[in-house]
Amino acid sequence: MTDPKRRNPLEVLGPGLVTGAADDDPSGIGTYSQVGAQFGYGMAWTMFFGFPLLASIQAICARIGATTGKGIAQNLRQHYPPSLLRAR
């Protein structure tokens, strides 16, 4: 008999599993390998600027989603006109 409180591991991981797996495609691995071979650790300094930006945007998106119960796209669609969102 299964425990009713126990959740399916795929439900816990959710879309993050698919998103993370989708980034590991062969073309991406090839690109990262070529860039790594060309620049080595010479581009590692960008990590110190990029990571705080990435983490803060991720935290903002998570808080918006937790507060509204909707994703970023749904919130944008609700608060902005379609003409602004489709502008190129």
- Is residue 41 within 8 Å of residue 33, measured between CB atoms? no
pLDDT of 86 reads: 77
3-31: per-residue pLDDT in tens?
667 777 767 776 666 666 666 677 777 88
pLDDT digits over 26-51, tens only?
A: 777 788 788 888 888 888 888 899 99
- The string of pLDDT tens digits covering residues 47-63 is 899 999 999 999 998 99
Q: Is 72 within 8 Å of 65 (Cβ atoms)?
A: yes
Distance CA 42, CA 64 (A): 36
Q: Which residues are within 8 A (CB) of 60 and not within 5 positions of it... i.e. 6 or more apart? A: none
- On whether the CB atoms of residues 76 and 87 are closer than 8 A, the answer is no
Confidence of residue 66 (pLDDT cuts 50, 70, 90): very high
The owner of tokens 């390998």 is 33
